[in-house]
Amino acid sequence: KNEVEQSPQNLTAQEGEFITINCSYSVGISALHWLQQHPGGGIVSLFMLSSGKKKHGRLIATINIQEKHSSLHITASHPRDSAVYICAVLGRGQGAQKLVFGQGTRLTINP
Amino acid sequence: DSGVTQTPKHLITATGQRVTLRCSPRSGDLSVYWYQQSLDQGLQFLIQYYNGEERAKGNILERFSAQQFPDLHSELNLSSLELGDSALYFCASSVAIGPYEQYFGPGTRLTVT
Question: Residue A48's pLDDT is what?
Answer: 94
Query: Residues 6 or more apart from B87 whose CB is under 8 A from it?
Result: B36, B37, B38, B39, B109, B110
Q: Is B99 in contact with A41 (Cβ distance < 8 A)? A: no
- What distance in Å separates the CA atoms of residue A32 and residue A91, rounded to the nearest whole number? 9
Q: Hey, what's the torsion of the CAs at A23, A26, A31, A37, to 10 degrees?
A: -40
Question: Residue B60's pLDDT is what?
Answer: 93
Q: Is A88 in contact with B101 (Cβ distance < 8 A)? A: no
Across A30-34, A65-69, A94-98, least confident range: A94-98
Question: Residue A95's pLDDT is what?
Answer: 59
Q: Is A97 in contact with B104 (Cβ distance < 8 A)? A: no
Residue B106 has pLDDT above 90, yes or no: yes
Query: Residues 6 or more apart from B57 whose CB is under 8 A from it?
Result: B46, B47, B48
pLDDT band at residue B59, thresholds of 50, 70 and 90? confident
- What's chain A's Rg over C-alpha atoms? 13
Q: What is the mean pLDDT of residues B29-39?
A: 95
Residue A68 has pLDDT above 90, yes or no: yes
Residue A96 has pLDDT above 80, yes or no: no
Report the share of chain B in percent with pLDDT over 70.
100
Best of A98, A100, A103, A105 to mutate (most B CBs within 10 Å, chain B) = A98
Question: Residue A37's pLDDT is what?
Answer: 96
Best of A56, A63, A97, A106 to mutate (most B CBs within 10 Å, chain B) = A97
Q: Please, is A4 exposed, middle or buried when counting C-beta atoms within 10 Å of its C-beta (0-12, 13-18, 19+)? A: buried
Question: Residue B98's pLDDT is what?
Answer: 82
Nearest to B110 by CA among B4, B36, B31: B36
pLDDT band at residue A39, thresholds of 50, 70 and 90? confident
Residue of B nearest to A104 (CA): B42
pLDDT digits (tens, 9 = 90+) for B67-94: 999 999 999 999 999 999 999 999 999 9
How far off is chain B from A60, nearest CA to CA, in Å? Answer: 17
Query: Which helix (H) or strand (E) element contains residue A61?
Result: strand A59-64
- What distance in Å separates the CA atoms of residue B50 and residue B78, rounded to the nearest whole number? 20
DSSP state of B28: T
Question: Residue B86's pLDDT is what?
Answer: 97
Residue A94 has pLDDT above 70, yes or no: no
Question: Residue B97's pLDDT is what?
Answer: 83
Question: Residue B31's pLDDT is what?
Answer: 95
- What distance in Å separates the CA atoms of residue A38 and residue B111, rounded to the nearest whole number? 20
Widest CA span of chain A, in angstroms?
Answer: 45
Task: Tell me the sheet residues that pair with B50.
Answer: B31, B53
Q: Is A31 in contact with B58 (Cβ distance < 8 A)? A: no
Average pLDDT of the residues of chain A: 93
Q: What is the mean pLDDT of residues A80-99?
A: 86
- What distance in Å separates the CA atoms of residue A14 and residue A37, rounded to the nearest whole number? 20
